[in-house]
Amino acid sequence: MLEFKILKKSKNSNARLGVLKTSHGVVETPVLVTVATQAVVKTLTSEEVKQAKSQLLIANTFHLHLKPGEKIVKSFGGLHKFMNWDRPLMTDSGGFQVFSLGFGSDHGVGKIFKRDANIRPIRQAQGRPEQVEGRMYANDTNKKIISKGQQPRNVKITSDGVFFNSPVDGRKIFLGPKESMKIQQALGADIIFAFDECTSPLADYEYTKKSLVKTHRWAKICLENKPTKQALFGITQGGKFKDLRIESAKFIGSLPFDGFGIGGEFGGDKDTMIKMIGWTIKELPSDMPRHLLGIGHLEDIPKIIKSGVDTFDCIVPTHYARHGYAFTSEGRLDISKAKFLNDKKPLDKKCGCFVCQNYSRGYITHLLKAKEITPLKLLTFHNLYFFNSYIEKLRNDIKEGRL
């Protein structure tokens, strides 16, 4: 089961230092939850993930349901044993995939709404290039607003859940709150999430409001079907609308969840995002853990911690690693650039990770240009270690009254 203890509350901000106790050990918070969608931190072994100082991972219900299927995972004794990870583990509910395979895919938008986003063609859910029917700028909100009753092209959202075709074999799949609970029970993570609908930045007020009713109803169904041995976090939504954010936080916060996730889109700029998180957190029970879903660029981290977030997951350290980026004390470096070929220095001379102790930028650049797979591992390890060390320092800052 789950126990959350707040060790210290900051006097300078809403930041808090805490400890999350699970049957697989203790997590010091605030913490970045390392993303292991398909029961793996891409390119790393579970041993390496530990060495990179990750305390807690999050895998995904949607992905694991499709491949290999929760029955297989359960037959191995659950996710922990399946992936040889004996530390705490979360699973996401699959709700986000409704958005990312649906409207997110249709309109080429993420949950952060970039004004200067590149033009992106409309693509099909499975990621295969499709005939481009039209192009849009992500800031063409006037042309592409999602209003009440509208459906994404590849996903059917009903009041009970979501129908979609499996990106794996095309078969029709239904996922709703009950199904999500059942799958997450079989997967066996310590902390699981309620099944929600993550609304698009392009959703209008009416759509978002209606969606919220659905998410709230689903939250109750999740609680009714809650697995006994796992902690369940509810998820608040509300889009960019303050009254809906508050309404959602009040409602979800009043339910007997073990913790709370903050989901959805977060506006167009960082200030708005922080504001939106603030609206939500203010309404949540103060002594319960709060998880921010899917946010964590390096520059966001101090802000979200100061907002009172305890745990947050983000693909940035690992995903950017596979695109050739290293996060360092000098900033984000695109190590794939030719200028690094002659660079004998480590990725970050201030970093203590084994990559920085043993390998040069030039070598990693060479490997990237040679399209080898090892540099992706080296960068992933470094980035994780870097992020985890960074947050370790922030925890210390809270402890010593600096944050």
Partner RNA sequence: GCGCAGGUGGCGGAGUGGUCAAUCGCAACAGACUGUAAAUCUGUCGCCCUUGUGGCUACGGGGGUUCGAAUCCCUCCCUGCGCA
Which residues form the interface with RNA (CB under 7 A)? Answer: 35-38, 41-43, 58, 60, 63, 92-93, 95-97, 99-100, 110-112, 114, 117-121, 123, 126-129, 167, 193, 196, 198, 235, 237, 261, 263-264, 270, 293-297, 300, 313-316, 318-320, 322-323, 325, 334, 336-339, 369, 373, 376
Place of tokens 């805490």: 18
204 is catalytic: no
Least Cα distance to 46 among 82, 22, 73, 21 occurs for 82
The sign one gets for the Cα dihedral 91, 94, 99, 101 is: positive
92 is catalytic: yes
Cis check for the bond before 30: say yes or no (omega within 30 of 0): yes
Nearer to RNA, 11 or 371 (CB): 371
Q: Minimum distance from CB of 320 to RNA (Å)? A: 6
- What are the tokens at 6? 């707040």
Phi (first) and psi of residue 30, to 5 degrees: -65, 150
Q: Strand 231-236 vs strand 25-29: parallel, antiparallel, or unpaired?
A: unpaired
318, 52 Cβ separation under 8 angstroms: no
Least Cα distance to 97 among 155, 158, 184 occurs for 155
Q: Minimum distance from CB of 78 to RNA (Å)? A: 19
Spatial separation of the C-alpha atoms in residues 388 and 54, rounded to whole Å: 7
Q: Minimum distance from CB of 248 to RNA (Å)? A: 11
Q: Minimum distance from CB of 54 to RNA (Å)? A: 11
Cβ-in-10-Å burial (0-12, 13-18, 19+) of 156 comes to middle
Least Cα distance to 189 among 64, 51, 49, 31 occurs for 64
Nearer to RNA, 9 or 390 (CB): 390
Spatial separation of the C-alpha atoms in residues 203 and 106, rounded to whole Å: 13
Nearer to RNA, 293 or 398 (CB): 293
Nearer to RNA, 7 or 213 (CB): 213
Q: Minimum distance from CB of 343 to RNA (Å)? A: 12
Nearer to RNA, 339 or 345 (CB): 339
Nearer to RNA, 21 or 322 (CB): 322
Q: Minimum distance from CB of 96 to RNA (Å)? A: 3
Q: Minimum distance from CB of 396 to RNA (Å)? A: 23
Spatial separation of the C-alpha atoms in residues 29 and 287, rounded to whole Å: 13
Name the active-site residue from 92, 106, 310, 348.
92
Nearer to RNA, 74 or 123 (CB): 123
Name the active-site residue from 106, 190, 258, 313.
313
Range 35-40 contact pairs with CB under 8 angstroms and sequence separation of 24 or more? 35/313, 35/314, 35/315, 35/318, 36/83, 36/85, 37/63, 38/63, 38/64, 38/67, 39/64, 39/73, 39/79, 39/82, 39/83, 40/83
Residue 41, Cβ neighbours under 10 Å: how many? 25
Which residues form the catalytic set?
92, 313
